A and B are shown apart, each in its own frame.
Chain A
């Protein structure tokens, strides 16, 4: 794990108002937790960036865990801040907060 990896992630999170780090892609998630998270995001009807952590294991696999001191993937960041993993994403989606949060972030961008 290099500091460059953390710098790559810091930049991506700063430049994308809505970004999710996941296993697989939005069309082909490779883990049940990532699949559930991405379904909730898609259902909100806003654009978002998605990074497949398998694309560059060197950078992402440990990098995203260290970056926010959060031990699991997926991770959703909105306006530069960690929102949470799949359980929190699902909770927020079911309460309607996720839709609101993402629409606000998309409008501000």
Chain B
């Protein structure tokens, strides 16, 4: 079981300059908003991949569902 805070920590560790907000309290379904200057010039696919990479094998496994929104600061 994961908490929203743990997921937030994992994303922040991988993308230290990102602003991250994760919600969800059932241990399996989460929604995340990740805003990072590193997303500049990258496609949505690449942006989502960067966040998924931070979560590794947990994604689709222990973390059943993560609704993900990515953006660049502006």
Contact = CB atoms under 8 A, between A and B. Distances in A.
Interface of A: 32-33, 65, 69-73, 82-88, 91
A84 B44 contact: yes
Interface string B33-46: 00000000000110
> Which 4 A/B pairs are nearest by Cβ-Cβ distance?
A71-B59, A71-B60, A88-B44, A87-B68
A65 B61 CA distance: 12
Interface of B: 44-45, 48-49, 52, 55, 59-60, 65-69
A7 B2 CA distance: 35
Contacts of A82: 45
Given A71-B55, A85-B68, A86-B67, 14 more contacts: A33-B65, A33-B67, A65-B60, A71-B52, A72-B52, A72-B59, A72-B65, A72-B66, A82-B45, A83-B45, A87-B48, A87-B69, A88-B45, A91-B69
A87 B67 contact: yes
B44 A70 contact: no
A73 B55 CA distance: 16
Contact of B48 (A32, A33, A65, A84): A84
A88 B47 CA distance: 11
